[in-house]
């Protein structure tokens, strides 16, 4: 397992990308697996930095990567306001764009890219686990 702590700024995402890329190389993971995880993490981290905090202070976000039982997991931990993205209804992709409500599309894509997404709130902390099966 590897871990990184970043602060809630988009400029920090490049550090996560570099760590995931190196982790993927170290574990001989397929580029498609890493690419899917990059997209999912970008969406999740963007949502956390934009919406999780009601103040302008810096907050730490912890991201851990591990491979367990042929699954790549990314565990994201933040101290933002409670938010379970799994409760957001999927967007109506059959409706014309002008009739669709704003929001929810990003987490829909995350759920489609990953094989499993789990959320838990413990105390003042959100835990989100993104899981992608590895077919090596």
pLDDT digits over 98-126, tens only? 665 655 677 888 999 999 999 999 999 99
Paired residues of 74 in beta bridges = 65, 130
Q: In the prediction, which pLDDT does 90 show?
A: 72
Q: Who's near 69: CB < 8 A, 6+ residues apart?
A: none
pTM above 0.75, yes or no: yes
Q: Considering its fold, how many domains does the chain have in total?
A: 1
Burial 47-70 (b: 16+ CB within 10 A, else e): bbbeebbeeeeebebebbbebeee
The domain that holds 120 is classified in CATH as 3.30.565.10
Q: Which domain holds residue 98?
A: 2-133
């Amino acid at each position: 397992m590897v871990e990184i702590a970043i602060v809630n700024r988009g400029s920090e995402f490049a550090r996560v990308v570099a760590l995931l890329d190196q982790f993927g190389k170290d574990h001989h993971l397929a580029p498609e697996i890493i690419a899917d995880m990059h997209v999912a993490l970008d969406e999740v981290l963007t949502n956390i930095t934009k919406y999780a905090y009601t103040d302008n202070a810096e907050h730490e976000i912890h991201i851990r990567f591990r491979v367990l039982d042929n699954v790549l997991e990314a565990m994201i931990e933040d101290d933002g306001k409670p938010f379970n993205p799994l409760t957001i209804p999927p967007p109506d992709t059959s409706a014309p764009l002008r009739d669709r409500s704003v929001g929810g599309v990003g987490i829909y894509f995350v759920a489609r890219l990953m094989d499993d997404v789990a959320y838990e709130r413990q105390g003042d902390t959100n835990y989100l686990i993104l899981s992608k099966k590895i077919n090596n």
